[in-house]
Amino acid sequence: MICQDCHQNSATVHLTQVINGHKTEIHVCESCAKEKGYVSEEEEPYSLHNLLSGLFHFDTSAMEKNSSNQTKLNKELTCSKCGLTYKEFTQVGKFGCASCYQTFGDNLNPIFRRVHSGNTTHEGKVPRRIGSDIYQRKKLTDLKRTLQQLITDEAFEEAAKVRDEIKSLERDLNQDGEGEA
């Protein structure tokens, strides 16, 4: 297979990108992949450079059309912790610190959707120590869902057990909260 960009080298980097909801195949050689930003020098599948500049153009055209305040605000968004602006982020393709995520908030959703095949929310591991609260809360949500189902199914005996479990979990969570305050 020949590189679709330079038509000279053989294509050694293969991936798909979701562009406007369509999966597009990309087959390029290592050097074109690096040049176009599909892969960085390390082992990242592709850098965000192209994706972000694409989004950025989209933003500009949207602003030209209706020059909504919202878009203007996005442009001026600045992380109070590290000083990175949203505009800089779209140019560099990297965050400066953990607070950037909070600062740029929902503006990041289209980017994440594009990079992570439509996903915006974490589904995996939660840190054991600092995340124990989150872990418990997740468990609580799951239990409440189970309880609803059990009630619908009229499995009242089991539902009572789950209700007890929920109560004790809620007690634990409240105590933790007080302890920290």
Residues contributing to the site for other proteins (CB under 8 A): 1, 3, 9-10, 12-16, 23, 25, 27, 29-31, 39-48, 81-84, 92-98, 101-102, 108, 111-112, 115-131, 134
Tokens representing residue 77 in the block:
């968004």
**Can you tell me the distance from the alpha carbon of 5 to that of 3, in angstroms, rounded to the nearest whole number?**
5
Minimum gap (Å) between residue 60 Cβ and Zn ion: 23
Nearest distance, CB of residue 72 and other proteins, angstroms: 23
Q: Closer CB to other proteins, residue 68 or residue 119? A: 119
Of 146, 124, 145, the C-alpha closest to 135 is: 124
Of residues 126 and 143, the one with the C-beta less far from other proteins: 126
For 137-145, the CB contacts below 8 A with 24+ separation are 137/173, 139/169, 140/166, 140/169, 140/170, 140/173, 143/169
For residue 95, the SS3 value is coil
Among 39, 51, 100, 111, binds Zn ion (CB under 5 A): 100
From the list other proteins, Zn ion, none, which binds 5 (C-beta under 5 to 8 Å, kind-based)? Answer: Zn ion
Q: Which stretch binds Zn ion (CB under 5 A): 24-32, 50-58, 119-127, 153-161?
A: 24-32
9/71 with CB nearer other proteins: 9
Closest CA to 133 of 122, 145, 141: 141
- Residue 68 CA to residue 119 CA, distance in Å, equals 27
Q: Which residues contact Zn ion by CB under 5 A?
A: 3, 5-6, 9, 29, 32, 79, 81-82, 84, 96-97, 99-100
